[in-house]
Structure 1
Amino acid sequence: MDAVEIVRRSYEAFARGDMDAVVADMHDNIEWQQAQGLPHGGTYHGLAEVRRNVFDPLDRDWWSEFSALPDEFLDAGAEVVVLGRYRGTARQTGKRLDVPFVHVWSLRAGKAWRFRQFLDTRGWVEALAPNR
């Protein structure tokens, strides 16, 4: 299976809520870089940290609805660039989220060993912020 198909498979699993399948093609010690400026921005190491700090809070704490919808997968050899949109509704505020993202996946031996997220974090933060 080529790198694009491996990455695409993760988004398809995320869309159907199958978190075990989402992380199935990730290295146990993946380096996960969340965009600075997000409430959970920073770098996480390993699947346990990624699940605890990135995936678990998505539905539990932040979003009553959330999706990461890929529009394009760009094959860059050992890296795959994904262009897409985050959409959702904030759990506490009811505000809508609709912002573009860029994800860069680095793969080695059929496993993602690094993920980098790029987005304008303002829309995300504003959706989560309570009205003042």
Structure 2
Amino acid sequence: MSHPTLDIIAEVYRAFDSRDFGMIERLFDPDIDIDQAADLPWGGRHHGHVGAVGFFTTLLAHIDSKVISEHMFAAGEDVVQVGRTVGTTIPGGVEFDLPEVHIWHLRQGRIVGFDAYIDTPAMLAALRQAQTR
């Protein structure tokens, strides 16, 4: 069964796969907060559209990946997505296939927050291995 918040987040994943970053203007609230483990090169807290662009730009400078969604469900206005991120490091081409969880916070049909969780030690190990190639 479709749910409006699930549809919005599915659109985000489709846009990311096609590298359509116009989605930030269309779907993200101007005051969005993005959080991921600060240990990662793209991690930390990113605020607003400029922060979102910085987050995705830095992410794509370090990895070429695709989210494989295994479960996605609405929890009130939030959406929880559980899956894997699969790809390679840039540079170095080290392959990875890691578990991840994304929690999306929506209010009035706009994304106001995105919390990204990944197996951080394993991601850091792949990035370190890429540096030695």
1:70 match: 69
Name segments (4+ residues, structure 1) moved above 4 Å. Answer: none
2:41 match: 39
Shift of 1:21: 2.4
The question of whether the paired residues in 1 share the 8 Å contact of 2:41 and 2:59 is answered with no
Instruction: Give per-residue Cα distances to partners, 1:77-111, cap 9 Å, x unaligned.
Output: 11100011111111222211211111111110100
Shift of 1:23: 5.1
Instruction: Give per-residue Cα distances to partners, 1:38-84, cap 9 Å, x unaligned.
Output: 122211110111212x111233x212x32122221111011100011
Cα distance between partner residues in 2 of 1:24 and 1:34: 22
Taking structure 1 as the reference length, the TM-score comes to 0.88
Aligned-CA RMSD value: 1.7
Could you tell me which runs of 5 or more consecutive residues in structure 2 were left unpaired when the two chains were aligned: none
Task: Give yes or no for the alignment of 1:118 onto 2:87.
Answer: no
Could you tell me which runs of 5 or more consecutive residues in structure 1 were left unpaired when the two chains were aligned: none
How many percent identity over aligned positions?
Answer: 30
The question of whether the paired residues in 2 share the 8 Å contact of 1:98 and 1:123 is answered with no
Task: Give yes or no for the alignment of 1:21 onto 2:23.
Answer: yes
1:85 match: 84
